Amino acid sequence: MKKILVAFTILFCMAANAQSDIEFNKLKHSFGKIKQNKPVSYSFSFTNNGTKALIVESALAGCGCTTPEYPKEPIVKGKKAEIKVTYNAATLGEFKKDVTVKFANHPEPIILIIDGEVLDGKGSTKGAKTKAE
C-alpha cells in the first residue's frame, strides 16, 4: 500500500510540475457590454517557464461563435506567446464561452474563458434569450 501511495504522489507531483511550466497572464477575460455583430478579440498571453519547448497541440472552442488562434511553432524556454480568442457577437444577451488548450506532453488541458453581454445598436438586449431558454 505504501508503494502505491508513493507512486501516486510522484505522478501527482510530476503532473503539477508540468502545468507550472506554463504561466498564463490570466485565464478569464470579461469584455463587458459589446455591440451586436461587432466581433471582439482578446489575446491570452503565456510564458514557457519550463526547460523544454512548448507545443500547442490544439485550442478548441466550445461553439462556432468563438474562434481561437494559437502559435503553430514551438515556444522555446523563457519565451512568451499568445492565444487569440475572437467572439462573433451575433447573438444578443449574456455569453460565457470557453476554449480548451492542449499542450503536448502535458496531461491536463487549460481552459480559457471569455464572457460579456451583447447589446443591439440601441444598447438593449431586447429580444435576447434568457438564461433559462
Give domain status of residue 127, yes or no.
Answer: no
CA distance 121 to 1: 65
Looking at the whole model, is its pTM more than 0.85? Answer: no
| Residue 133 lies inside a defined structural domain of this protein | no
CA 25, chain centre distance (Å): 11
Q: What is the per-residue pLDDT for 86?
A: 98
Q: Please return the burial class of 92, using the count of CB atoms within 10 Å of its CB with bins 0-12, 13-18 and 19+.
A: middle
Q: Say if residues 68 and 60 touch (Cβ distance below 8 Å).
A: yes
Is there a domain that residue 51 lies in?
yes
> Over the stretch 56-88, which tens digit does the pLDDT of each residue have?
999 999 999 999 999 999 999 999 999 999 999
Instruction: Give the range of the structural domain holding residue 53, as residue numbers without chain letter.
Output: 2-119
Looking up residue 31, the CATH number of its domain turns out to be 2.60.40.10
Residues 88 and 4: beta-carbon distance below 8 Å: no
* Amino acid symbol at 132: A
Residue with cell 460565457: 96
